[in-house]
Amino acid sequence: MAVYHTPVMLDESLKALNIRSNGIYADLTFGGGGHSSAILKVLKNGKLIVFDQDMDALANIPDDKRLLPVHGNFRYLSNYLRYLDVDFLDGIIADLGVSMHQFDSHERGFTYRSDSRLDMRMNGDSDVTAADVLNKYSHQDLSTLFREYADLQFPGRIAAAVVRYREQKSFVTSGQLVECISPFCKPSEKNKMLSRVFQAIRIEVNREFEALSEMLPQAVTHLKKEGRLVILTYHSAEDRIVKNFFKTGNVEGIAETDIMGRKSGTSLKPVFNKPLIPADDEISRNPAARSAKLRAAEKV
């Protein structure tokens, strides 16, 4: 049986979460249930609320009275907690990576390694697909997308190539995108560049950075004092959002001051001086962990 997903830095995440056996916790990215299963082993009389917008993931939820499933995006955290009549949480964890199951579900178009429909939606009910982004975005919007989300050296040229390609035929499959981008790839860096392009489009389709930016202040609102917020990121811009928020209380990283010039704005204290990264042996077992960073903060 194929593994749905291998959780990254599992032991480090659990330690950072500082689980109390009777606490109430939320796993905002259930996926294959790796982090949730480990949390449940520690909980006795507590509760675990699990979020995922992907119905495939929710099919993995075990029959456990301590577990409350939510089919939805964590950007609506407060709304769902209100519906569940939960005011405060002892801890929150979010692993922002894509599961191996999603990569292996070739029909969903998350990877360049197979020729499939350009979809990339985490939530199949969403309106915008990867094909829509490629076929409808302006040259300027595509250039911005490739620069900010893929960190490409010549984003404008690649955006222009996408526009030229779609003038001849619409983008439908991932193979077409590979065909369009490949002339810009050095042979030694082709896989790396294609990964960045596909990642950038996926981030845009699912509004991942917007969802993260909206979730973070809600998470702090619902954390109890001394509650922990644990986030695993896989993209430099994603990590910067979390770092800024932990430091200043806003995703822009701008320290706010009152009328007397005193700094204010955050009620979080970082658990680590710098983010944790996977050990070499974990990366060798699970190459997908290579870009992961783990940050954790405690509410004060």
CA distance 4 to 69: 18
According to the model, what pLDDT value does residue 160 have? 98
Q: pLDDT at position 3, please?
A: 46
Q: Which of 76, 16, 63 is nearest to 207 (CA)?
A: 76
CB atoms within 10 A of CB 45: 8
Average pLDDT of the chain to the nearest whole number: 90
Neighbours of 77 (CB within 10 A): 27
pLDDT value of position 1: 32
Question: Looking at the domain that runs over 10-100+208-299, which CATH code has it been given?
Answer: 3.40.50.150
pLDDT value of residue 56: 77
- The structure's pTM equals 0.90
**In degrees rounded to 5, what are phi and psi of residue 214?**
-80, -30
pLDDT of amino acid 91: 98
- Model pLDDT for residues 7-38, shown as the tens digit of each residue: 899 999 999 999 999 999 999 999 888 899 99
Give buried/exposed letters for 176-210 (b at 16+ CB in 10 A, else e).
bbbebbeebeeeeeeeebbebbbbbbbbbbbbbbe
253-299 pLDDT, tens per residue? 887 765 555 456 678 999 999 999 999 999 999 888 899 999 999 99
pLDDT band at 166, cuts 50/70/90?
very high
Radius of gyration in angstroms for the set of CA atoms belonging to the chain, rounded to a whole number = 20
Crossing angle for the helix pair 174-181 and 155-168, nearest 10 degrees? 130
pLDDT at 259: 57
| Equal fold, 10-100+208-299 vs 127-205 | no
Distance (Å, whole) CA 258 – CA 223 = 24
Residue 262 burial by Cβ neighbours in a 10 Å radius (0-12, 13-18, 19+): exposed
Q: Which CATH number fits domain 127-205: 3.30.365.10, 1.10.150.170, 2.40.30.160, 2.150.10.10?
A: 1.10.150.170
Task: Assess contact for 232 and 13: CB atoms under 8 A.
Answer: yes
- Provide the pLDDT confidence category of residue 205 given band limits of 50, 70 and 90: very high
Q: How far is CA 290 from CA 78, 145, 223, 229, 234, in A?
A: 32, 23, 30, 22, 8
Domain ranges of the chain: 10-100+208-299, 127-205
Q: Is the pLDDT of residue 173 over 80?
A: yes
**Structure confidence by residue, pLDDT tens digits, 36-81:** 999 999 999 999 999 998 887 777 788 899 999 999 999 999 999 9
Q: How far apart are CA 295 and CA 13, in angstroms?
A: 9
Segment 191-202 shows an average pLDDT of: 93
